Structure 1
């Protein structure tokens, strides 16, 4: 019998031929376990690209769809099975918080133990995967997939590193998931949610102007309301690319689109010499945008504020990821097993 991992390259070709591999895509699962009286004390969330697909918390005690196409394509048995799996792993992640606190002599206060597990399907057909733990927002330990080894990011994780590296099968199991089931799940979701995940929305653009000292000015190029996330925004002066003042950062909007801005400092009066070039998969040709005197759109201002709020909420919430076990028939489980406990060499025990 052919295994699911063996079938993966053939499935990949079939999916791409049907148009579901345009651009790069990722499937990520975030897990968070919190100490103290914080609610919820345990939270999971799954994402395809930046679109939420499901979530579970210690308050709801249910794994629930976060996308209409997930609800339409997965039946009651799927959600009941995933709920039971999440309930099973909840105490494991909570125990990892306690273990990490003990190693760092943290006896009180709010602390988080986090995990992100996921894979990506790149536009050239290649794949990647990641499995990373964090404690209180700092890297704790991660899997180096190519060398099948665990790498501690702080002294408190060195015990875990030694124990997990002593049993090579742990890393082998994680690698098999990242390169097999995870990619298969991403392909499945890209097909089921194609209308949402494969859509193309053109960026709206404008350039704003601000005084910067007595004889200088600052031009900021805004691109907003675009989808998917990947975009290229650059400044040119008389055809020569100019370095940006700050590293551009793409931010999410409340409606599921994105925004980005890039800034360049110029001598006052030379505005006409500068163009902002915007290239995106929704465009037949790159857009060249020049400064025009007009007010910032209110939608852009609101979107910028909301984007910052979204990022802050994610940081404060402390997202940690879990791995789901494949069980039963009639549905896809996102992972073949649960999170590893940091105090054990077993993949079913704690840090």
Structure 2
């Protein structure tokens, strides 16, 4: 479900545009219908494109994802309390949007509410920022800091935004947060997190295979890399990308690095080649790890030979039984 939320509304994470400029971003996502094992709400924090913090409704705790911020224990406790209160308010706002859309459009089913809050510290010391709100995959309104109101992104959201401003008079408060608290947090994190931003650890890669109902499954395990962003894909015959039906999730390791496993289904073909391609900021070029496709063809041939042997044994058994039956008939006659 997390992957669905991310695909619904492009909340892009951009790094600083130039040296000396910085951005701090909070991405909030809530789903109306709970899914077992999946947080109903999450808050993810980024500094210059680096994911450094996260809060979710399952643990109800904020946590730092970078070792360099681990000393800020009191600050983290304060962030946890703020996130808990913020989560409650956002659930009310999601219910408002659901009620409005059900009233006007009769929409039902799953609903996803997303919010993106960004503050900016420019190289010359000036500050900026913005806030966007999306619902069910579409951006519906944005913060107008100058007039301290939320404005509709589309004409369709005009009436809804007017009611939003009347019911939730929070625009001024969010403007103050963007221009003060958010900037102060950024200045607190930057000296500590700078080493994490510069740190790069190259990934290690292992490829393997296993049997599946439809033929063979190839696995590419990429692990021990930092920073988090990575692109992993399987390529057939050096040009054709194989798309996976499974969602691959980047997972953290205890040492602060990350890992991911990408698996694809293939049908053994004689002469076909398969390779795992990894793109990461620590690598100058794409890392290509080939899978020995001869293993696939060998396994395929082995299966065919085994099936042929089984058929031969069955036919031989039938032949022997038939000969015995004929001899038995002659004997009793």
TM-score normalised by L of structure 1: 0.47
Choose between structure 1 and 2 for higher RCO, CA contacts under 8 A separated by at least 6 residues: 1
